[in-house]
Amino acid sequence: MMEERLRMDVGAMDSIAPEFEQVRDQLHDLGLTLSVWDHFGDVVEGFEPSCHLCAEIGGLAQRCREEARKIAERVVFSDRPIKGQSPLGGCIIGVPVYERRRLVAAAVACFPVAEMLESEQLHRLCDSSQLDHESIVGELASRCRYGLAHADRLIDAMTKMLDRERSLRVAEDGVHGLSENLASTYEELSLVYRISGTMKLTCEPQVFLREDVCGELLEVIGVQYAAAVVYPHTPAQGPVEVIAAGDLDLKAEQVRRLAAADIAPQFTDNVRSLVDNHFAGNGRSGSHKGIDRLVAVPLIGDEQPIGILLAANKMAGEFDSVDVKLLSAIGNQAAVFLTNHRLYADLQDLLLGVLEALTASIDAKDPYTCGHSSRVAKVSERLAIEMGYSPERVREIYLAGLLHDVGKIGVPESALCKPGRLTEEEYDQIKRHPMIAARILGGIRQLDEVATGILTHHERLDGRGYPQGLSESELPMEGRIIGLADSFDAMTSDRCYRPALPLPDVIEEIRRHAGTQFDPELVEKFLAIDLGEFLIELRSDDRQFRPRAVGQERQE
Ligand SMILES: [Fe+2]
């Protein structure tokens, strides 16, 4: 009966046992001996006979135990306190024990009572066991503090003790849970704060994901490996990108297969995390070599999956809900960054498209300069990369190269497109184009840095350039780079007054003017490039020319 009733509560006793220590000690001070019985009628908390007679009289201890068990069974069955008698005539009381309002056990206590001193049971037991009744009564009398009439009050006291201890333990559990929650929330908040501090739109996604996202995962969760799997924004962006950190030897292609076959299919609108602490035996893609435990979340941008963030092989123990919370927090930040960065990249592409259209329309005034601005931009970009500049500065130099002749929009076509020799006045008009460009772009704050290169692209190291005739020390690198790129493209392009120069002549010309017109260091770096191949590349897609976004290398 007891088994039937409480089979569903098996296991609860493990968690409630500690509180009985307190109750047992308190009851002991009151002269009561406590035992706790589980669902199967087994003792959880030690059963002790209430007097030494039980131990001395053969079979009595077993009978006492049996009576206590019966009381426990009745308590569990009736879900209320029960009182009864021990074989010696003592009192046994039992009360229900609850765990989160579920009855999970019975607490039973026995104690000698005054009435047993004169009981028939005691006489018979002393006779049958050849014990001196008088001395037994004397000993029992010294221990009898209650009568049978006290049973109800003691039941009430025991119930209150159990309630108090249970409430105390629930409160302690609550405080413990709260403190764990607080610690985990603090860690999560501090992580989000750290990561959001590094989220700059100018930061390359690969750098952000590797160092700030995967790097943090390695440290905060303590994993062997972490990776961000990023779906391409457009088909032109190529394959799914894998940015990883850690020391697990996995190729990008393996991680792609892992994400596609084992992780992505597990996510739904309602399932936004995957925790698998037995992944080694569960993986289906065959790409999970070395992964024993895995946790992953989808990266959601604009309500669409844009990738997956995963961490593998926690160093200490298994992944738990706290790890998932942390991974989700980082994943949310990563998704926000990627989404914003893609919007930013779209805007950059739009800006570049507009600027390319603008410069192409200026170049189109003269069929001989068609594509010139785009080519100068690309040569300038290449020179800036060779100089080891930051991606941001490379981009500014690219834009300066693209816009370097935008001032020609303010130069009369009669001078600009004149096939014959220019008069001095016409030449002066043309020489004003850097200043005109500076004025046009002067109102655009975002192009402040770009204007420097445009204004100085016709200056020379020997001070014989225009429009300002700057000296070598005054001439910025931006102007030197665009000046060299401009001259290179002019020499390698047909003009109305001459065909394009052969490449060896161009190289010779550049070398000859190093130190006077061109910066010698730049010349050295430029001539180290395979210019024949570079020229083919420049000419191959004049019409479709688009700059390669700086820093978009992929991990393969
Ligand atoms: Fe120019």
Distances (CA, A) of 491 to 61, 179, 307: 114, 73, 47
CA atoms within 13 A on the CB side of 535: 17
d(CA 332, CA 340): 12
CA 462–ligand 1 middle distance (angstroms): 18
CA 455–ligand 1 middle distance (angstroms): 9
Q: Tell me which residue of 3, 110, 127 sits closest to 61, measured CA to CA.
A: 110
Domain 2-171 has CATH 3.30.450: yes
Superfamily of segment(s) 364-555: Hypothetical protein af1432 (1.10.3210.10)
Cis before 467 (ω within 30): yes
202-340: CATH class:
alpha beta
pLDDT confidence of residue 551: 34
DSSP-assigned letter for residue 421:
P
Tokens standing for residue 478: 């931006």
Given a contact cutoff of 8 angstroms between Cβ atoms, the answer to whether 465 and 459 are in contact is yes
Sorted by sequence, the CB contacts under 8 Å of residue 499 that are 6+ apart come out as none
Phi-psi region of 514 (alpha: psi -120 to 50; beta: other; left: phi over 0): beta
d(CA 485, CA 304): 43
Tokens standing for residue 55: 């131990």
CA 510–ligand 1 middle distance (angstroms): 17
CA 425–ligand 1 middle distance (angstroms): 17
Could you give the strand order of the β-sheet that contains 294-301, starting from the edge strand earlier in sequence?
A: 241-246, 223-230, 304-314, 294-301, 274-276
pLDDT confidence of residue 487: 96
- The pTM for the full model equals 0.56
CA 524–ligand 1 middle distance (angstroms): 23
Strands (E), 396-519: none
Tokens standing for residue 11: 């296991």
Could you give the strand order of the β-sheet that contains 91-99, starting from the edge strand earlier in sequence?
A: 43-45, 33-37, 102-111, 91-99, 82-85
Numbered ranges of CATH 1.10.3210.10 in the chain: 364-555
- Core vs surface per residue 350-383: b (16+ CB within 10 A) or e: eebeebbeebbebbeebeebbbbbbbbbbbbbbb
Which H or E element spans position 310? strand 304-314
CA 458–ligand 1 middle distance (angstroms): 6
Numbered ranges of CATH 3.30.450.40 in the chain: 202-340
CA 348–ligand 1 middle distance (angstroms): 24
Sorted by sequence, the CB contacts under 8 Å of residue 80 that are 6+ apart come out as 96
Given a contact cutoff of 8 angstroms between Cβ atoms, the answer to whether 415 and 429 are in contact is yes
Q: Tell me which residue of 241, 236, 173, 178 sits closest to 207, measured CA to CA.
A: 241
CA 353–ligand 1 middle distance (angstroms): 21
Interior angle at CA 411, CA 541 and CA 488, nearest 5? 40
Question: What's the start-to-end Cα distance of the chain, in Å?
Answer: 66
CA 420–ligand 1 middle distance (angstroms): 18
Which H or E element spans position 528? none
CA 136–ligand 1 middle distance (angstroms): 122
Consecutive 10-residue averages of pLDDT for the chain (556 residues): 42 56 82 81 67 63 84 90 86 87 85 84 80 81 84 90 83 82 74 73 82 88 92 80 89 89 88 86 62 92 90 90 88 90 86 85 76 93 96 92 91 81 90 91 82 95 95 95 96 84 95 96 96 89 43 31
CA 426–ligand 1 middle distance (angstroms): 15
pLDDT confidence of residue 18: 65
CA 38–ligand 1 middle distance (angstroms): 94
Sorted by sequence, the CB contacts under 8 Å of residue 34 that are 6+ apart come out as 20, 23, 24, 27, 28, 45, 107, 108, 109
DSSP-assigned letter for residue 547:
P
pLDDT confidence of residue 552: 35
CA 403–ligand 1 middle distance (angstroms): 9
Sorted by sequence, the CB contacts under 8 Å of residue 505 that are 6+ apart come out as 491
Interior angle at CA 222, CA 216 and CA 228, nearest 5? 50
